[in-house]
Amino acid sequence: MGNICVIGSINMDLVIQTPRWPAPGETVSGEGFMTVPGGKGANQAIAAARLGGTVRMLARVGDDAFGTQLLDNLKASGVNCDDVQMVTETPSGVAVITVCAGENAIILDPGANYSLTPSDVRAFATRIREADMLLVQLEVPLSVVTEAVHVAFDVNTPVLLNPAPAVPLDHDLLQRVTVLTPNRGEAALLAGDTGVDSSVESLIDRLHGFGVETVCMTEGAQGITYRHGGLDIEHRDAISVDVVDTTAAGDVFSGALAVALTEGALFEDAAAFAQKAAAIAVTRAGASSSIPYRAEVESFDA
């Protein structure tokens, strides 16, 4: 069983379905409003826990009703929350999500997520040292992510970085990352791509050239393309399913990939496992509510 540390965000997602997105100044009718625990860090932690990992999380929530619900949801999925603290006089992170034809648009207020500091990471260093993998994203301050990656690198703990939301990252940081899981837009930003004609393969090669051991680009309905170590670039087609909501698909993929890799799976087998988990997730509404359990993935007939 993989021992995984997650440092990242915890949000409450306010989700509504709409037949189309409104133009500026326009109101459209929606339906199916839900409040669903989410946040990229929490989604990935829950995915890793439900899929068989032993997961410990470092994060912050507000001292409010959402904070209590978010903590309860993590604990119910088996995530160790001893290092998740409530911050007074600060709201929990909130994401307002509109879903249209299976795609989503998101507005995020990070709230308490931005209370996390590099000193919190240093206090968490023993946990990182004991872990089989560190899993991080970019919905907390970049200084926190940078400190976490450097701590993990110094103690030889592999790092899986899901670089979302997209921001430029120093090569010094990227060369300490073991596995990078960007989508195409994130890969282009990280690679410094200023045009529109760069191929997926060229973006992956550029990121690999920065020192990232494994680059695995998620391409939605087109599948995934990756380069692992010194091997050739490989592509895997997406699994065909009826898509309901893609909100947490990338998070589920990253969490599942971390579990499989820490269990010793070959990369191609870990990627196949992660694709199955993400395919199940997109057939369901919501973020954490869509995340499957291990038995579901193992019995899934792709």
**Positions marked active-site:** 251
Terminal Cα-to-Cα distance of the chain (whole angstroms): 24
Characterize the bridge pairing of strands 3-7 and 54-62.
Answer: parallel
Contact status, residue 126 vs residue 151, Cβ threshold 8 Å: no
Contact status, residue 182 vs residue 163, Cβ threshold 8 Å: yes
Tokens 């648009």 correspond to 105
Torsion angles phi and psi, residue 25, rounded to 5 = 85, 0
Contact status, residue 256 vs residue 135, Cβ threshold 8 Å: no
Q: Which helix (H) or strand (E) holds 65?
A: helix 65-76
Distance CA 85, CA 136 (A): 18
Query: Residues with Cβ < 8 Å from 137, sequence gap 6 or more?
Result: 8, 9, 40, 41, 44, 145, 161, 162, 163, 164, 251, 254
Report DSSP state, residue 247.
T
Query: b vs e for 70-102, b when ≥16 Cβ sit within 10 Å of the residue's Cβ?
Result: bbebbeebebbbebbbbbeebbbbbbebbbeee
